[in-house]
Structure 1
Amino acid sequence: MTKHQTSSTQSLKFPLIEQAKQDETSLFSQSWELPDYIKSNLKHTLRPYQEQALSNYRFTQTKIKPNPQHVLFNMATGSGKTDLMAALILYLYKDEGYRNFLFTVNTNSVLMKTIDNLTNANNEKYLFTNRIEIAGEHIAIQTVTRYPKIQQPDTIYLKLATVQTVSSDLFTSKENTMGVDDYKRSPVAVLADEAHHYSANTKSEKEAENTWESAINKILTARDDLEAADSSFKKNLLLEFTATVDFDKESIYNKYRDKVVYRYPLSQFMHDGYSKKVKRIETSANDDEKMLNVVLLSQFRKYRALAEGVSSTFKPVIMFKSAKVAVSRKANKRFNEIISELNPESLIKFIHKQQMLDSNDNAILELAYRYYLQNQPDLPRIVSEIRRDFNPKNVLNANDASGNMLEKGQYDALNTLESPNNLYRVVFAVAKLTEGWDVLNLYDIVRISDEAKANKNSTMVEAQLIGRGARYYPFEISGKRSYRRRFDNDPSNRQLILETLHYHTMNEPQYLKQLVSSLKQMDLPTGKDLKNPPIEVKLKSNFKKTDVYRHGKIYYNEAIDVPDSYFDSIQKYGIDHKPDLQRNLNYGSHEVNYGALAAATETKTINVATFNDRYIKKAIQKLEFYKFANLKNFIPTIHSMREFIYGDQWLNARNLKLFLTVPIEYRADSLTSDEILTVTVNLLKEYQVKIQTGYVKKRGTNKFIGYPIKDYLSNYSKRIPNYDTQTQFDKSQDIDNYNMKNDTFYIYENAVVNHLEYQLIQRIQGHLQELQDKYHKAVYLFRMDETMHRESAKSDDLKLHQYQQHPEYGIHLTGYQPDFILFLENTDDFYFQIFIEPKGMSGERFENELWKEELLLYMTDHHAEMEFADNAANVRISGLKFYTNGDGRGTMSQLTELIKHTKPDKD
């Protein structure tokens, strides 16, 4: 379960998942790694959650007696259930001895896609390697309509059929079809995709569901009367897969509570970065206007990709979703007319009209409009490209009469839209693509409003389609491909547009309320794509006339190259690793924060006598980062995992002791091995972050370089974060725009800062008179925002690097830029530069940042050690302790003392 699930779902218990988790964390359990025969025979590398799903299933077949015949994998749309099925086929063949597999689905379209994925080695989406080899033997996958009575060695027999066909064959005696005797003769493993269609979830069940339930019961029990005492006997198995299970319904939960073997909800999938982000464009535009808007956005997305260095094969696809086939065909016809009639003049007129609409406040559309307006001289070429790219030949209508999407190669075209040879940019469809369609380069879905309904059923279909369209597209940049989002922190939207799905819908309150409800029910986080223009932060014109701006400098220390040989201990990564590990125990829903909550919670420290190196090894096995091949990239001096685990300079696992801070009422004998392992895993996760950030190829020196203020302080733009209420992630941002025109000490006309930063500015203002009394010539506060130089190499210049040697962890190599510089100058041309850093965090996060404060204070206390590149004897550089809310640490008092006792050097 994750924090993103509803409270009702959170409280539900699934015994198989709990048992698998307990077994995995047990010290007496033999840890299991994904076998090489699975790794080497799958085209795709399994993701950690897919490996966990497979591990959970293996647990049910090896450590639970009797082995469960029927299990359910509840995994998000787009999370790679078919890859998992391919891995399970290999596992069941090799480890459990199954050779006969039945793959069943609810629709022919999904069936055709899966046949290609599992059996067609020439298909781009084939899931296995071209040659499957296990234990030195070539394994053939043979598709059958009926399992042969005499079976060949080294062969996997795979029957793929719709649930309707399977049921019909069982209940209707026909030649060359599979009856109960066929499932009785040899053990069969059934893989049921989109299994929610087959579950009885109301009192008035559909006949198809009754037929399926009866059919599957016949298949599962077909061999029961053959069961023998010997261990080689195998029952038939049913493995169900679905993203959609309504566990809030008691009947569904009761049916599946002891069958669910793994869960991976959609919100977790999206939070982990394996999907596109999803934004809603809610507009009052009519369908014609929405069609042209989405074409302009899609083409802008294509141009943006090329500008960012994405492979030229990048092709964003649009889908138009209609309520009825007749409406879809009518919309298709109208779309072709709009494209054929488009010209540069009509395009400019359209954009101006859209920009005048008060209701049109969509950020991404405005970016697209701006692009076309800025490139007006080139519009004839752009319009020509639009008419070519969206020519009727590149528009696919998936509303064939047969319902199977097989006419004119439609099926192949729909499932190869990512292929460079597939030129389709647009798909028109009704509801048949809501399942089984796994196109990755779908970036825009448009709801055609004509005859569209706004009831719960229709909006749930839309929500499911949005979830399917959110699958991530692993495009290449400079030859490198990623399968997770790369640009979540891109404030410009220029790159994030390549990782966002937009759903274009109508601005009708009642419909939107129902849609949002359906999206919540699906656990699918989305938000409105609202305009959020960057705010320009301008230098004051009066400041630009001063000698400080024209001739002054700001000083940061020089960084030099660091050899790999430097990284010879864990301390060199800024990790204060001690033999006595002091950690906190998450106790129930309350986390005891060591050393911080003593006033609120009475605590005690217990020695965990059972802690030993096995926990370290077990935790390492659970974390992908600590695989040796990867770890070696960050710790070049280690030669083996054993050295990392047991070496004196590294984890030194044999000599570690664990002490836990727990509530005073906590009984030490209540501590479980699961809790100890969780603490250990969290420790290594923290070390992972420090190792990754600590492996820096530059280190600081005591030599300071002056950078001209006029070259480095300039106007810049910054956005105020605009979080949608429908997302379930942290929205605790408090950035605002403050007018600073009348505050002469502040060099910018406005301050786009958070509340704590603004509080610091006000505190400085409160000390302004005493500062000006001593520094008559200049008192200025610089806001050093990294967005000033986001797109230039200058941002790397203005960073401080730790250069003092810490007795325990050496030197933090990571550079950082304190948020503020207080710049002071007196009549003797003595310059005093004071770095100030506000910190709103607390607890361990605050403690992890303290190395920055140590550097600031070290500069204050060791001025004599500093060297200056320009022999500047009249410069003093200092730093203050972190400023916290309400000046709780006395930062302003330190400033007062510093000003009082600092005098110009008279060398």
Structure 2
Amino acid sequence: MSQTLTDQIDAVAKFGMLKADIPDDITGNLAPKIELRPYQRTALERWLFYIDKYEGRPKAPHLLFHMATGSGKTVLMAALILDLYRRGYRNFLFFVNSAQIIEKTKENFLNPASAKHLFAPSVRIDDKPVDIRAVDTFDAVSGEAINIHFTTIQGLHRRMTEPKENSVTIEDFRDYKVVMISDEAHHLNAETKSKDKLTKGEAEDKASWESTVSEIFGQHPENMLLEFTATVDLSNEAIRAKYHDKILYDYSLRQFREDGYSKDIELRQADLPSEARMMQAMVLSQYRRKVAEAHGLHCKPVILMKSKTIKDSADNEAAFTEMVAGLTDEALDALRATSEGDETLSRAFTFIMDERGMSGPDFARELEGDFSPEKVVNVNNPKDLEKRQIELNALEDRNNEIRVIFAVDKLNEGWDVLNLFDIVRLYDTRDGRANKVGKTTMAEAQLIGRGARYFPFVAPDQPDAAREKRKYDSAVDTPLRILEELHYHCSHNPKYIQDIRNALRETGMLDETARTVRLRLKDNFKQSSLYLSGHVWANDRIRNPRDDVDGLDAYKIKGNYTYPSLMTGRVTEASAFGVGKLTLKPNAKEPISRDYKLADFGRAILGFAMDADDLFHFTNLRAYFPKLASASEFMTSSSYLGGVTVTIRGLLEDLDGLTARQKLNIVQYVLKQIKSEVKSESVEYVGTKEFKPHKISECFTDNTLKLRMEGETGLSWVKGESNVPGLDQIDLTAKDWFVYDDSYGTDQEKHFIKFLNDHADRLREQYDDFHLLRNEKAVKLFAFENGQAFEPDFLLFLRRADSGTEEIIQLFIEPKGVHLADQDKWKEDFLKQLENDAKVHLFFQGKDYKILGLPFFNDGAPWINDFKECFGSTLGIDGKT
């Protein structure tokens, strides 16, 4: 079989040919809170390449975006709608399989007040306002608006076969080119499957779903069909053949998890009745809420109670309501007593009742209030679910008080929830056979995948870390780690646990390579003077004061722009066969170029253009130009717009008589270029050059790490698991200068420890003692130029007393794989700056401190030679190897 479309695009991507700037008409018209993630940008780059450069593209493309649950497919839909509008499309048909998703989708697309609204408050394309409207038919709709018809595929089929007045009909698709957008598109493949593999429901769907979509798609030669799903069945040969040339982007759930965009899944099995498991989940949910509050975060965790049947769900809800209403401190004490072997639940009780000092009766009353009946919802009635869909998709809102949802299987698709942290399985059946995953178990795994969407938050201790990605994979003892985990509670059933593990492994949600290790500081180090009274020096990040900004040139703006040519009215004629003379229509004249000072267009036009863009409002201008005294100065001063010129090409008479509208368009064009340059050159933060002391004993502690086994990472040095040559000859536990009891780092980290061991005797000749500390999120530095955060892998402390003065050198070292050296070059540059730019109290508590950094360490040539030379000269052991 020939290469798939994905294979072809992947091959092009390897040569860097897909890299492209996402048009401002897309990025500038999405909701301000939306920042496109790297994989979403990749999807858009593939789209732009396909639509603009792919030679095999049909006039009416049919494409599939096969992307993980929770990856933001609706954001991508909104971006594509904006791009297709600028390409001349005005009519969009959005269809799904389930009616319950429609209202949620309308809310996201049409309601600016919604927290999940996808578009900017004011959409402007080609400097014109664009409305986004829901329509019942494409007949007589606005030719300047984005017109979207929302429907289910079943409802669409009925309209096609039983047309009614004022509803979309097949004629709409003959007369207008339409972009068809299918969400949860795997439902469209009922007809593609061979008959013997159709379920009864799929056989009934066959007459409508896929055939109806195919018929509509073929009505106009410029129609497009864009499908989105996370679960297309590519194991089916017929479906795989159908999408051979249609999958533009494949972003798997496994990759989504590995990139850090999902919660980690913890399977909790308890040999307890269902009511006790519900109580456990309730306590853990409240623990999450309190941990978030203690760190200044708003999080209202939600629990999903999953039953096997609707009757069971009603019974379980009644049991839960009765349990909460009669909750006592004795019941909580009993639960705590049974949780002694449960590290997570014990930690919750310790935090709430010991550290926070909440009494048992007070805790019982709080739970009774927070989980009262009005904060519990049962979604098993389809009609009730459709009405509640908006509420269920706004569970993160501050005014949404729902804490518990009882369901059977009504939330398996189209449920966008980020603050679901606990799923309690209230039945104990299994359908796995002979180690094969059953359909029910796979559906449960897919529900877990939906619930594993990450809850975004800004970590107080990691202000630079992406709010939408996990931050504590390598520091699982951190309290906020509980906000990065989804707990799946089930009864004690080893065979079922194996089934659900297999299902999660198949979906990509279970990380089989993860390893949890305990890294301990050696006792002799904990008793050392360095640990007990020593300090580590680090800088801070502050907002960029922009003290040296006194004009546009501070942002490397040269002040000369060329405006696209004015319309000239010039017409040329030439023979289609390349013979004959090029002729110029009478009265046409040659265009010329002329330079204008932007300020000469007048303050009224400049002011009007500036008012149209928030960046040029005076308050915002002051943030970028702190020395600016007024908006008038920005318009007239030679340091600002007064020094800007623009070259315009057009006919002489047009240039002599530019209209006010033309002048405004020109000014807006120039301001847009200036805005782009200011944004690209400006930095919001800088790292301070003053370093401050922090107690080593408070920064460096025992750590529990969750490591992804990859290459050498995760392999124990002490247990002899490492593949780095020569490590088995070094007893790391006996090296008093290495402060931890083991090393699980990368190959280059272990090579560096070996390097230091080889130089230990030379160091002892020059220093009284030295200690190497592995930096597991203990110390963070910030680049001077832009405040970018950096956690060097190692700190080497060297101490010596000379003539009554105690000198301590703090040396930052970063082992680095060759494949990362280029992209992390800024880190190496920063480390080299420390010697000259890092400012410390030269004498602090009677000690003379120095802060230094070294170039990257790599054991291969030529890097190792450069490192040895710098290491030796910095520490005074030149020529000694």
Query: TM-score, normalised to structure 1's length?
Result: 0.65
The amino acid of 1:459's aligned partner reads: T
SS at match of 2:705: coil
C-alpha contact 2:515 2:714 (8 A) present in aligned 1: no
* Identity %, equivalent residues: 27
Which among 387, 397, 400 is matched to residue 422 of structure 1? 400
Decide which of 12, 19, 25 is 1:36's aligned counterpart. Answer: 25
Pair 1:143-2:139 in alignment: no
- Indicate yes or no: 2:213 matched with 1:216: yes
RMSD: 5.6
* Residue identity matched to 1:369: F
Task: Judge conservation of contact 1:42–1:129 (CA < 8 Å) in 2.
Answer: yes
Q: What is the match of residue 697 of structure 1?
A: 688
Picking from 79, 100, 114, the partner of 1:109 is: 100
Give distance in 2, aligned partners of 1:746 and 1:192. 61
Partner of 1:442: 420
Q: Does 1:819 align with 2:795?
A: yes
1:319, CA displacement in angstroms?
Answer: 1.0
CA distance in structure 1 between the aligned counterparts of 2:311 and 2:96, rounded to whole angstroms: 27
Check the 8 A contact 1:198/1:213 in 2, yes or no.
yes
Contact residue 90 and residue 143 of structure 2 kept, 8 A: no
Note the C-alpha offset of 1:69. Answer: 3.4
Distance in structure 2 (CA, Å) of the matches to 1:239 and 1:109: 21
Post-superposition CA distance 1:441-467 (Å, at most 9, x none): 212222223445444212221222122
Aligned pair partner of 2:818 in 814, 832, 843? 843
- How far apart, CA to CA, are the structure 2 residues paired with 1:415 and 1:391? 21
Alignment map for 1:253-652 (pairs within 5 Å): 253-311=240-298, 314-356=299-341, 360=342, 362=343, 364-374=344-354, 375=356, 377-400=358-381, 403-406=382-385, 409-451=387-429, 453-454=431-432, 455-475=437-457, 483-485=467-469, 487-488=471-472, 491=475, 492-526=477-511, 535=520, 537-539=522-524
1:313-338 deviations in Å (ceiling 9; x for gaps): x2111112223222222222222222
Residue 719 of structure 1, CA deviation: 1.7
**1:240 offset after TM fit, Å?**
1.2
Measure, in 1, the Cα distance between the counterparts of 2:428 and 2:413: 23
Distance in 1, matches of 2:295 and 2:281, equals: 21
Contact 1:141 1:158 survives alignment (8 Å): yes
Deviations 1:73-119 (A, max 9, x none): 212212222222233333334422333x2221111111232233234
Does the CA contact (< 8 Å) of 1:170 and 1:179 recur in 2? yes
Q: Which has the higher contact order (CA 8 A, sep 6+)?
A: 1
**Code of the aligned partner of 2:213:** I
Contact 1:559 1:801 in 2 (8 A): no
The amino acid that maps onto 1:92 is L
Aligned residue identity for 1:449: Y
Q: Distance in 2 between matches of 1:449 and 1:95?
A: 53
TM-score by length of 2: 0.66
Letter in 2 for 1:102: L
C-alpha distance 567-834 of structure 1, shift in aligned 2 (>3 A): farther
Post-superposition CA distance 1:333-369 (Å, at most 9, x none):
222222223222221221121214xxx4x5x334213
Question: Aligned partners of 2:854 and 2:121: how far apart in 1?
Answer: 63
Aligned residue in 2 for 1:611:
none
Which residue type is aligned with residue 732 of structure 1? T
Change in CA separation of 1:332 and 1:138 when aligned onto 2, cut-off 3 Å: same
SS in 2 for 1:280: strand
The answer to whether the Cα contact below 8 Å between 1:192 and 1:239 also exists between their aligned partners in 2 is yes
Q: Please state how far the C-alpha of 1:254 moved relative to its aligned partner.
A: 1.2
Q: After TM superposition, give the deviation of residue 421 of structure 1 in Å.
A: 1.8
Residue type of the alignment partner of 2:75: D
* Equivalent AA in structure 2 for residue 112 of structure 1: E
| Match in the other structure for 2:72 | 80
CA distance in 1 between counterparts of 2:852 and 2:689 reads 22
Change (3 A) 1:266 1:636: farther
> Is the 8 Å Cα contact of residues 376 and 405 (structure 2) preserved in structure 1?
yes
Counterpart position of 1:721: 705
Query: What one-letter code is carried by the residue in structure 2 that aligns with 1:355?
Result: E
> How many angstroms does 1:390 deviate by?
0.6
Q: 2:67 touches 2:253 (CA, 8 Å); kept in 1?
A: yes
Q: Distance in 2 between matches of 1:528 and 1:282?
A: 21
**Which range moves more in the overlay, 504-513 or 195-204?**
504-513
Matching of residue 170 in structure 1 with residue 160 in structure 2 = yes
Contact 1:881 1:891 (8 Å CA) reproduced: no
Amino acid at match of 1:405: D
Specify the SS of the correspondent of 1:318: strand
Q: Aligned to 2:340, what secondary structure does the other structure show? A: helix
Deviations 1:461-504 (A, max 9, x none): 12221222222334467899965226336723312222333333
Q: What secondary structure is seen at the aligned counterpart in 2 of 1:410?
A: helix
CA apart distance, 1:721: 2.4
* Aligned residues of 2:183 and 2:229 also touching (Cα < 8 A): yes
Find the aligned partners of 1:480 and 1:549 in 2 and give their Cα distance: 28
Paired with 2:13 and 2:136, the residues of 1 have a C-alpha distance of 39
Aligned partners of 1:418, 1:193: CA distance in 2, in Å? 23
Match of 1:194 among 180, 184, 198: 184
Q: Which of residues 236, 239, 243 is equivalent to 1:252?
A: 239
CA contact (8 A) 1:316 1:443 kept: yes
Structure 2: gaps spanning 5 or more residues: 551-614, 628-681, 720-729
Q: 1:581 — aligned with what?
A: none
Structure-2 change in CA distance of 1:736 and 1:384 (3 Å): farther
- Which deviations, in whole Å up to 9, do the C-alpha atoms of 1:245-297 show, x marking residues without a partner? 23343322210121222333223333444443443334444422321111111
Q: Structure 1 residues 749, 173: CA separation in 2 closer, same or farther (over 3 Å shift)?
A: closer
Q: Deviations over 1:410-431 (max 9, x none)?
A: 3333122122221110111111
- Report whether the alignment pairs 1:45 with 2:31: no
Q: Sort the Cα spacing of 1:541 and 1:424 in 2 relative to 1 into closer, same or farther, 3 A.
A: closer
CA contact (8 A) 1:556 1:800 kept: no
1:197-218 C-alpha deviation (Å, 9 max, x unpaired): 1112444332213532221222
In 2, the alpha carbon distance for the partners of 1:121 and 1:73 equals 26
User: Residues 391 and 813 from structure 1, CA distance in 2 versus in 1: closer, same or farther, beyond 3 angstroms?
Assistant: closer
1:135–1:460 CA distance, 2 compared to 1 (3 A): same
Aligned residue for 1:154? 144
Which one-letter code corresponds to 1:421 in the other structure?
N
